[in-house]
Amino acid sequence: MVKRILTLVWKLLTSLEVAVILVLVLTAFMVVGALVPQGMDDEFYLKAWDEGTYHTFRDLGLLNIFHKPIFLVPAALFGLNLLCCSVDILRKFFPKNITAHFAVSALYHLALVGMFVGFVVTYLFSYGGEIWLKPGEAKRVPLKRGETTWARLAPRLGLAAPQNEETTYELRLKSFETEYVEKDGRIFVKDWISALEVVAEGDVVAAKRVEVNDPLVYGGMKYYQASFEQKIKFDVDGELRELEAGEALAVGDEKLMVSTVTGGTLLADDGPKPVGPYVELKQMPKDKWHRVVKDVRPGVRLSQGERTDVRGHDVAFLSYREASGFTYKRDPAVKYLWVLWIVFTALIAVRIYVQESALTWLRKED
Amino acid sequence: MLASIDKGVYVALVASYGFLAATYLLRRNGIAQLSWAVWLLHTFLLAVRWLEVGRTPFSTLYECLSLFAWSGVLAYLLVQRFGREKVRWSGVVLFAIMAAAMGYGATKDPTVKPLSPALDSIWFEVHVIPAFASYALFVAAFAFQLEFLVTAARRERLDFFSRKLILFAFPLLSFGIFSGAGWAEETWGTYWSWDPKETASLVTWCVYLAYIHASRSPRFARVPSRVLNILGFVSMMFTFLGFNVVARLLGLPTAHAYT
């Protein structure tokens, strides 16, 4: 009896039809997950929908579907199905009847199983956060081990949960700069660059110019150039105002949209040149200045220290200060996923482009 | 100069692809040679755009739609040339899709802008080229599948072409998705964030994965697998084009919208 049940379970787990059905079930959940915004805060949903819709979606678990058992259980079953199918191929054909065809097929299925395991490791153990630094500032980085999925699960399994800590080193921002390029008379941002130093016990132990697409890797952590912030100071009729780019500067009964400050290095054909700093003030329609950005009337460009007259009001751009924003991440699975990805891609390419005999299938049979 | 050639040829190609769709419908002689001539004109357009922008021309929707049409037509014409099957409806469908795609592209802003810092990476080509190659093969597979389904004499070779094209496209799509994940890891530190567009691309991958396995199963090999082929195409087109519109309508937050 037990043997019959086990045989049936094994048959189900190695069934091609079951694999197809599981993939389609997962696909259906993914379609929902693609169309319903996932993992946003309450405010976001309440802004977009009425309260009733929000509560219905939340109660059905559709706002965080990829972390709910409704998705995770079929995903785990699919992983199990993949593993059993790979083992079944090897069991049937190894060692006597194994051919290159079956070996490659079993191996790339196993690589996919390995990737599944990697995704689980990421899900359980990865953590990260963001850190803001002003030029010259140094900070320790919070290691949010206590906020991982594993930290939530461990106490339920009777194990000690990892705790939040801080790095033993400090991260110091030496400088932050923006590089620009010119095209048809207009200036575009090319890159944001932060000169970062890792300082341990007063010594600089590592340094790197961190750019978009080029993070600093240190002590198992990766630090990415993610964002920047500008606080811009204006003088309006002798009154000091400080705001961020994208905010509105009230001048009399007018509201002026403040652009990002353009300031840094222009990478021109004849070598690098300084550019700016200047800011643009755009007059917005009074009733909907915060919504219809396209409806702006021509703006005013103000260089640092320059003054202008806006309908009888004296406006000057005094100064600005910047901070650089970094995201950081520790994911113990990434290295293994890289290896498995290369193995999977190489094997599936061999299987299809080499073993399927390239284009010979196009020839008409005689 | 290059800009006006670019725009002029782009519009001419919209008309040419529409004309080819009509010609396939009317079954005129010499259609294959004419199709190749139009494809060569399209190759010229890509070369002009490349010169104009000074980088691989696949960053804006204007450019991507052109690349999509060029690669889809190439995949279709190659299979037609070496497969030596008489075709009609697949040609009508394929060229109508390409005329519509290029027509939509012609409404977009062709102005050349430098790449944004996040896109300015070697990963850009590594991610985009295999993804578009897979799209090209999927669209050709869809066209052959449709011809198989609508013709009274069910010609198995058309079904076979479709299956093989998907088999060839699948590793390319896999590579495109995985390289996108690698790029995201290098840029944002997260190889997968369940961004709606990422999820939509995974839906396409899953539908074709289901198709490949269904076509090998005695129970699912016929009707279910063909339905999955059609669904895969719909999903691929949604990921590529429909997503932009839906994201705007539903207010979906995404880091992957076309400009």
Q: How far is B186 from chain A (nearest CA, A)?
A: 5
Q: Which of A34, A191, A349 sits opposite B171 (nearest CB)?
A: A349
The angle that helices B156-188 and B223-237 make with each other, rounded to 10 degrees, is 40
Give me the phi and psi of A13, to 5 degrees please: -70, -20
Tokens found for residue A45: 């949903």
pTM above 0.80, yes or no: yes
H helical segments located in A94-214 = 100-125, 149-153
Test mutation, B199, B215, B245, chain A, max A CBs within 10 A: B199
Token look-up 């001419």 returns: B12
**Distance (Å, whole) CA B245 – CA B241:** 7
C-beta atoms of A224 and B199 within 8 A: no
Of A66, A215, A348, Cβ closest to residue B171: A348
Measuring CA to CA, which residue among A319, A303, A318, A313 is closest to residue A251? A313
- What sign has the CA pseudo-torsion B194, B196, B202, B207? positive
Q: What is the pLDDT along chain A (366 residues), one digit of tens a residue?
A: 888 899 999 989 989 899 999 999 999 999 999 988 888 888 888 888 888 888 898 888 888 899 889 999 999 999 999 899 888 887 777 767 667 777 888 888 899 999 999 999 999 999 999 999 999 999 999 999 999 999 999 999 999 999 999 999 999 999 999 999 888 788 888 999 999 999 998 899 999 999 988 899 998 899 999 889 999 999 888 889 899 887 888 887 777 888 889 988 999 888 899 988 999 887 766 555 444 444 445 567 888 888 888 778 888 899 999 999 999 999 999 999 999 999 999 999 888 887 665 555 555 543
Residue A315 has phi, psi (to 5 degrees) of: -125, 130
From A191, A341, A352, residue closest to B171, measured CB to CB: A352
B63: which 2 tokens? 């450019």
What is the chain A residue with the closest CA to B246? A35
Q: Are the C-beta atoms of A280 and A300 separated by less than 8 Å?
A: yes
Min distance B15 CA to chain A CA atoms (Å): 30
Using omega within 30 degrees of 0 as the cis cutoff, is the peptide bond preceding A69 cis?
no
Residues in chain A closer than 8 A to B222 (CB atoms): none
Report whether A1 contacts B218 (CB < 8 A).
Answer: no
Residue A191 with chain B: CB contacts under 8 Å: 117, 120
Q: How are beta strands A221-236 and A216-218 bridged, if at all?
A: antiparallel
How many A-B residue pairs are in contact by the CB < 8 A criterion?
138
Q: Which positions in chain B touch A20 (Cβ < 8 Å)? A: 210, 213-214, 217, 220, 224
Domain residue extents for chain A: 2-124+333-365, 128-229+325-330, 231-320
Among A211, A306, A129, which residue's Cα sits nearest to residue B118? Answer: A211
Tracing tokens 């004296």 back to the chain, one arrives at: A314
Mutate to test the interface with B, among A14, A20, A209 (most CBs of B within 10 A): A20
